[in-house]
Amino acid sequence: MDALVNALIAVGLLLILVMVIYLIDKVNAIEKETRKMMITLGEKPATTVPTVPTDPFMGLSGKKLWDAMTGRSAEGLDPDGRANLRNIYQVVLTKHMEALYQDGFKDAIRGLPGEPKNSRFITTAKGQVESWIPSAQANALYQCGFKAAETPQSEWGPIRASMDEAGLYLLGKTDLDTSSPLSDWLMPLSASDSAMSSAEGGYDTPIGLPDATKSTPKLNRL
């Protein structure tokens, strides 16, 4: 009887041992498959979610921005994107032209002629961007300001004509409105009336410089 019990116990222990070995092997197999799956998933490229660009200038600046506005190819910029960008660019170009004229005017007052740069950073409500225009037009606008400071207003005719020529080229190239001459804003004909008021009232705005309190003219084509 004792021999039978011992035999049954031995068989039971053997079965338990076999079951334990089986479970250990199964766990190892599952762990191996899990590692293999994780390695496979890690090798697959992560799916990128398309992001909407937050840069209002669409990553363009300097000459690349000018090229895009003048109709040259710009990678990733479709016609609708170019049209939206042009609405912002009108402010950039306007401020650039005004700054060049003011630089020339102020340099003439100081008696220190400078070398105008055709590239400069312009700050707008949408952010700051580097603006670029051809050197010939940049120099022309600077010289207009310089000569305006040294020339009586009654003799501004040739200077205004030179300014309008430069403005017409820049605005026309970028498909902006050219119906209003640039000199009507930067060198208004009514400046002679302002000269008397400035002398009597002590205004800070130099004669020949655009008044910052006046709104910037609309240059975009509606």
- pLDDT digits over 152-182, tens only? 999 999 999 999 999 999 999 999 988 899 9
Is the model more confident about 42 or about 35?
35
Helix (H) or strand (E) run with residue 121 in it: strand 119-124
> Are residue 29 and residue 66 in the same domain, yes or no?
no
Number of Cβ within 10 Å of residue 202's Cβ equals 7
> Are residue 6 and residue 35 in the same domain, yes or no?
yes
> Are residue 168 and residue 192 in the same domain, yes or no?
yes
pLDDT class of 149 with cuts at 50, 70, 90:
very high
The pLDDT assigned to 150 comes to 94
> Are residue 99 and residue 176 in the same domain, yes or no?
yes
In a domain, 218, yes or no: no
Helix (H) or strand (E) run with residue 115 in it: none
CB 187 within 8 A of CB 208: yes
Whether the predicted pLDDT of 222 surpasses 70: no
pLDDT class of 51 with cuts at 50, 70, 90:
low
Provide the mean pLDDT of the chain: 80
pTM above threshold 0.75 = no
For the chain, the domain total comes to: 2
> Are residue 160 and residue 115 in the same domain, yes or no?
yes
Mean pLDDT of 29-52: 70
Domain that holds residue 111: 62-201
Mean pLDDT of 59-82: 82
